[in-house]
Chain A
Amino acid sequence: EPEVTQTPSHQVTQMGQEVILRCVPISNHLYFYWYRQILGQKVEFLVSFYNNEISEKSEIFDDQFSVERPDGSNFTLKIRSTKLEDSAMYFCATSQGVYNSPLHFGNGTRLTVT
């Protein structure tokens, strides 16, 4: 079964540093998303991306966050200047784009900000 692939599986960074999390979507999927799960909390929506632009973003997705699909395959989440509270699991998800088609999630990147 096709999978969403995320790299790295674990990223440790110092506060204030930039990080880039990468995702390879399922090949025929058109909609891409980032979610995060802070330890001990719910899975939360960050941003949706379609046709090379952001469709919707949550309050969490402030100016420190950005997304892009630079080479038509990888879908990336960049955090410009990490804060301690950015420590979380970050999940990429993709869907075919048919209305109400299910999201398929990757196994996540654990980001630890020290």
Chain B
Amino acid sequence: GENVGLHLPTLSVQEGDNSIINCAYSNSASDYFIWYKQESGKGPQFIIDIRSNMDKRQGQRVTVLLNKTVKHLSLQIAATQPGDSAVYFCAESPSGGSQGNLIFGKGTKLSVKP
């Protein structure tokens, strides 16, 4: 998928630096959150998820933080690489909603400078 024309927030970082991408979600009853990465011409790719009973979860080079008080989600990427350049979406699953009815955020474009 492409996001040409979408006025996305853009984050530009130097290769090797850490990146933090933020997301404000809409539904205080949402109980499951996912970060997806979308490269040009491709579908959303799962990165990491977190349930509402947690406030932090770590993966390989990525960490997701959840602050339910202010309905805020963040994705931290350690030692950012050029291959991390993409659009990043957070998605939420409303509590009681059907499996897979995800609400996507607008996305943040990450550009990594070599």
Contacts and interface: CB of A to CB of B under 8 A. Distances in A.
B53 to A, nearest CB: 11
B64 interface: no
B98 A40 contact: no
A23 B87 CA distance: 24
A108 interface: yes
Nearest to B106: A42
Contacts of A108: 1, 42-43
Nearest to B39: A107
Interface in A4-38: 4, 6, 31, 33, 35, 37
Given A41-B6, A42-B104, A89 B1 contact: yes
Contacts of A40: 3-6
Contacts of B100: 31, 33, 45, 48, 93, 95, 103
B99 A99 contact: yes
Nearest to A92: B43
Contacts of B89: 42-43
Interface stretch (B10-18, B44-52, B68-76): B44-52
Contacts, number: 79
A28 to B, nearest CB: 15
B51 A43 contact: no
A40 B5 CA distance: 5
A75 interface: no
Contacts of A105: 36, 43-46
Given A31-B99, A39-B5, A44 B104 contact: yes
Contacts of B1: 37, 43, 89, 91, 108
Given A39-B2, A39-B4, A39-B5, A107 B101 contact: no
Interface string A37-59: 10111111100101000011010
A40 to B, nearest CB: 4
Interface of A: 4, 6, 31, 33, 35, 37, 39-45, 48, 50, 55-56, 58, 89, 91, 93, 95, 97, 99-100, 102-108
Given A48-B98, A103-B46, 6 more contacts: A39-B4, A40-B6, A42-B104, A45-B100, A105-B46, A106-B43
